[in-house]
Structure 1
Amino acid sequence: MADLNIKPTRIELIQLRKRIKLAQRGYELLKMKRSALIMEFLKMAKDLRGMRENLRKEVENALEKMAIAEVREGRMKVESYGFMSGSADVTLKARNVMGVRIPELGIMMEKAVLTERFRAISVPAPIDDAIDAYDRLFRSLVEVVEKEKSMRRLLMEIDKTKRRSNAIEFVMIPKLKSQSQYIRMRLDELERDTFTTLKFVKKKMISEEEDKNKEGELQAV
């Protein structure tokens, strides 16, 4: 239904047509954005599937390496080297994907007694293998968390973009078109009324002119 408060003028009609074009352009841009976000989401989902499969293998491998190290070197010795290892901090940055801030996680290792050189010289091979396995596992976990968090944000933005595009397509554009049609109909009615009025005035003027001519002829006789 057209807005009854809208002014049925040509200027208003021109403005409405501009708004319709702008809304249609906005709708197309939102569709493009949503498609790009979906492509990015699907790419991440594909990568994540492979990363999760590898993660399961790395968990099994790390547990196996740790079990071997404890059997060969003893649990106390494994724990002593564990205390010599430094802790790790996860850093957070962000990148922009179609207006969505995607997290980028990094790893910052603190200085520790158990350096690469020290490990190469003094750490038994089974324990060193276990350290490498858990280091890879930790890095893989960080990558999986990064992907999952990114996918959640992309999914939220995809849903938001879909709702906005639907609002433009099914609410805004039909409303503007309805208002435009209403103004067009009112202008057509005004044109018809004006044409009828002008036709009536012209007919009356012709009639009056004919009457004057007849009076002039009678006076001449």
Structure 2
Amino acid sequence: MARLNVKPTRMELANLKDRLKLSTRGHKLLKDKQDELMRQFIILIKENNALREEVERELTDSMKEFVIAKSLINELFIEELFVGSETNVELDIHEKNIMSVIVPQMDFNIKEADVTSDIQYGYLNSSSELDEAIERIESILPKLLKLSEIEKTCQLMADEIEKTRRRVNALEYRMIPQLQETIRYIQMKLEENERSSIVRMMKVKDMGTNN
């Protein structure tokens, strides 16, 4: 491990020890943050997967029902039905802080628009099966919106986990070892200088005694 390019002095040694202490404390805090982010990320991923499977299953089933009901009704009526119907979705986005990660928290208000339609449901152009199929498809909308919130949160947390992982690795495998190696080097040089000073003093003392 390459050491830092610094002068082997006692002042530099004290500075490096302070940096090592700070880096070690920072590494622990980042590692704890990474672990907690991973824990919450795993919980969200499980929730996301379960909700996605549920939504996909309900969409598949409701579309099957819709296709069957649609096949029994006049095609023109189907087109008029979707032109005449309208749903408004009011979206209010707040911010939520999860371990310093700002994620969206979405509140949805889904309501039918006040639209007057001339479509008249009758025995010849409508069926209860079609109504039920459409209602079932519409009922999935809140889950789709919730799914989008969770998936966005997972994406933001994954980005933060990756950034935190890089910082942890930089401290663990580069900065902290470099500081430790440099501290050992300076301590060794200072000990060598101290021994050399003692040897010189002893030689001077011997020379004085001989004279």
Report the TM-score range of the alignment, normalised by the length of the smaller protein.
Answer: 0.7 to 0.9
Which residue in 2 is equivalent to 1:170?
173
Q: Which stretches in structure 1 are left out of the alignment for 5+ residues?
A: 115-123, 209-221
Q: Is the 8 A contact 1:72 1:126 kept in 2?
A: no
AA at the equivalent of 2:63: L
Q: Is the 8 A contact 1:94 1:103 kept in 2?
A: yes
Which residue in 2 is equivalent to 1:40?
40
> 2:18 aligned with 1:15, yes or no?
no
* Residues 53-84 of structure 1: CA deviation (Å, up to 9, x unaligned): 21122213432554576578766666656524
Structure with more helix by fraction: 1
Q: Which stretches in structure 2 are left out of the alignment for 5+ residues?
A: 116-126
AA at the equivalent of 2:184: Q
Identity within the alignment, %: 30
Instruction: Name the TM-score, length of structure 1 as normaliser.
Output: 0.77
Q: Is the 8 A contact 1:16 1:176 kept in 2?
A: yes
Supply the distance in 2 between the matched residues of 1:2 and 1:203 (Cα, whole angstroms): 39
Instruction: Name the TM-score, length of structure 2 as normaliser.
Output: 0.80
Aligned residue for 1:87, secondary structure, equals strand
> 2:163 aligned with 1:157, yes or no?
no
Written as runs of structure 1 = structure 2, the 5 A alignment for 1:46-195 is: 46-64=46-64, 66-67=66-67, 70=70, 82=82, 83-109=84-110, 112-113=113-114, 129-195=132-198
Supply the distance in 2 between the matched residues of 1:85 and 1:62 (Cα, whole angstroms): 19
* Residues 170-190 of structure 1: CA deviation (Å, up to 9, x unaligned): 111111112111211111111
Q: Is the 8 A contact 1:61 1:133 kept in 2?
A: no
AA at the equivalent of 1:190: N
Q: Computing the radius of gyration over CA atoms, which structure comes out larger, 1 or 2?
A: 1
Which residue in 2 is equivalent to 1:200?
203
Q: Is the 8 A contact 1:86 1:113 kept in 2?
A: no
